Amino acid sequence: MDLAALGKKWTFHILKSIGILHVDRFNKILRSLPGLTPRVLIMRLNELEHCGLLKPVTIQEKPRLVRWTLTDKGRDTLPILEGYSFYLTKWHPKASLENHRVQPRPVTVFELVDTFKRKQPANQGTQTASWKQVTS
């Protein structure tokens, strides 16, 4: 389970935030990783806790405030995280979290024209012909 959890999306970044950057509160982790959703962060924190890599430390009971810390097992992942970070810095210096976000593909002019043609009522064939003349 540990290796599977380490390979999941965002896990590396979450462990790096907690273990290397010392960002240990939920909202701070969320703000430090653009594109990460609260739902995914909760799922990953719970998985990493279940694997024994993280543990929550309660700061305050009401309202409940928690900070996350690495366990001994989690601290053993730090050399892996640091090595991977070094590799990225050296060989992929422009790498960012952009690849984790779902970016909408820009619409092409041809798709706009096609959409426009499909939305034209059938009885307006002459307008479609004039549109073809304009675009030709």
Q: Are residues 88 and 21 in the same domain?
A: yes
Q: Are residues 68 and 90 in the same domain?
A: yes
Q: Are residues 74 and 120 in the same domain?
A: no
Q: Are residues 43 and 16 in the same domain?
A: yes
Q: Are residues 126 and 96 in the same domain?
A: no
pLDDT digits (tens, 9 = 90+) for 42-57: 999 999 999 999 999 9
25 DSSP β-pair partners: 67
> 44 vs 38, 39, 78, 117, 129, CA distance in Å?
10, 9, 17, 46, 55
Residues of the domain holding 134: 105-136
Question: Where residue 44 sits, what CATH number does that domain have?
Answer: 1.10.10.10
Q: Are 43 and 49 in contact (CB under 8 A)?
A: no
56 DSSP β-pair partners: 68
pLDDT at 103: 46
Q: Are residues 44 and 72 in the same domain?
A: yes
Q: Are residues 43 and 86 in the same domain?
A: yes
pLDDT at 99: 53
User: What is the total count of domains within the chain?
Assistant: 2
> What pTM was computed for the model?
0.67
Q: Mean pLDDT over all residues of the chain?
A: 81
Lowest mean pLDDT segment, chosen from 24-33, 60-69, 96-105, 107-116: 96-105
pLDDT at 129: 52
pLDDT at 134 over 70: no
Q: Are residues 90 and 110 in the same domain?
A: no
